[in-house]
């Protein structure tokens, strides 16, 4: 039994191939991600980033005036690789239920840097 959906698919296919012409030339493979049509590892690597937006945030981390240990810590925090209680919990390791300094919320990197009342007070004093 042919339904409306199948007829619609047939018509879509018809519209896609109605202007196709065949030739007697043998088929050939071309790589669309290079200008010469030949595959290379470089063109495949660049194709993985096709359509992505370049973001140079690494310059803010590694090209700033801060000492190397501060830059490294910021990099770890940005990648959520610091061993705060939320990360310990994800690994099934012992951890406090709340951040011990303020006892108001779970210990996450976001809370340590921005959410904790003590952190906000320190940022206010620094800035």
Contact 86, 110 (CB under 8 A): no
**How many other CB atoms are found less than 10 A from the CB of residue 18?**
7
Q: Is residue 46 part of a domain?
A: no
Contact (Cβ atoms closer than 8 angstroms) between residue 96 and residue 107: yes
Q: Does 18 reside within a domain? A: no
Region of 80 (left: φ > 0; alpha: ψ -120 to 50; beta: rest) is left
Tens digit of each residue's pLDDT (9 = 90 or more) over 52-109 = 887 777 788 888 899 999 999 988 888 888 999 999 999 999 999 999 989 999 999 8
Count of domains forming the chain: 1
Query: Which domain, by its residues, includes 109?
Result: 58-126
Is 27 part of a structural domain of the chain? no
H/E run at residue 79: none
Determine, yes or no, domain membership for 16.
no
Give the per-residue pLDDT at 11.
94
Q: What is the pLDDT of residue 40?
A: 95
Residue 109 lies in a domain: yes
């Amino acid at each position: 039994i042919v339904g409306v959906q199948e007829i619609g698919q047939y018509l879509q296919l018809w519209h896609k191939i109605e202007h196709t012409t065949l030739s007697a030339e043998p088929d050939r493979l071309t790589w669309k991600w290079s200008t010469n049509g030949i595959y290379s590892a470089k063109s495949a690597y660049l194709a993985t980033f096709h359509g992505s937006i370049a973001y140079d945030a690494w310059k803010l981390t590694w090209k700033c005036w801060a000492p190397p240990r501060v830059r490294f810590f910021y990099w770890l925090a940005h990648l959520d690789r610091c061993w705060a209680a939320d990360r310990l919990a994800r690994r099934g390791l012992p951890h406090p239920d709340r951040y011990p300094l303020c006892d108001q919320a779970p210990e996450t990197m976001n809370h340590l840097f921005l959410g904790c009342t003590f952190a906000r007070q320190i940022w206010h004093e620094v800035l």
